[in-house]
Amino acid sequence: MLTVANLEVVYNDVLLVLRGISLSVPEGKIVALLGTNGAGKTTTLRAIGGLLDVHEGEITKGTVTFEGRKLNGLDPADIVTGGITQVLEGRRIFAEMTVQENLMTGAHTVKDKVRIDAAFDRVMGLFPPLRDRLGHTAGYLSGGEQQMVAIGRALMASPKLLILDEPSLGLAPKLVQTIRDIIVEVNNQGTAVLLIEQNARMALSIAHHGYVMETGRIVLDGPAEKLLKDEDVKEFYLGLGAAGTRKSFREVKHYKRRKRWLS
């Protein structure tokens, strides 16, 4: 469905952030993209969604294609109309608007009222707490409810692929579990998901395939179940030693990053 091939991205004509990454999202699957801050995850999202121009970024090499259509250079609205929507890091809801107004902005590119009504019913089914808050000002909702609004808004366009950037960020463990379950249900309903996360345990527990990024490169990928058992992933991303014991940050610092491109 989505293919990123040998992608390079430069900011301000100087800073090379993505260094030839390749990844794919098959139809109907959840794919996790893992990495620490600065690894290039959000830049990857911007490249897919057509948002690089806003940040003085440019694709200098490689392609992004969705269902065989090249996305390089397309306007973000065209990409949304083509079937990809995103939930950016930090939720980015319209704080002064109501919950319902926020949701309806997600259907801006949809002209068919029947489709809009169906998408709205779907969102209400996925997020029952929002039904009683439709007239509430979104900025006064809890962090978990705001994340529900952000995901619901993205689903109002009935996307074929939903991209989530750090959906668990800043949420209590119980709410992380709730968001995890919602992502699984969205996928069960037929929407493919690209999940960009630092929470490796949560992401790999629901993903079909995973990629690990470091300094603008994909250094490791494989089935999510296999990555969860990988000793390097367990030690660096889950903080566990070979015997499954939890390690401190100082003990983890000796971790040697795998560099697949050198093998």
Tens-of-pLDDT digits for all 263 residues of the chain? Answer: 999 999 999 999 889 999 999 999 999 999 999 988 888 999 999 999 999 988 899 999 999 999 999 999 899 999 999 999 999 887 789 999 999 999 999 999 888 999 999 999 999 999 999 999 999 999 999 988 999 999 999 999 999 999 999 888 888 888 889 999 999 999 999 999 999 988 888 999 999 999 999 989 999 999 999 998 888 787 777 655 544 555 544 444 444 444 443 44
Question: pLDDT at position 14, please?
Answer: 86
The two three-digit tokens of residue 156, written as one number: 């109002």
Question: pLDDT at position 26, please?
Answer: 96
Question: pLDDT at position 251, please?
Answer: 47
Domains and CATH numbers, the chain: 2-83+159-262 (3.40.50.300)
Question: pLDDT at position 261, please?
Answer: 37
Question: pLDDT at position 170, please?
Answer: 80
Question: pLDDT at position 91, please?
Answer: 76
d(CA 254, CA 234): 14
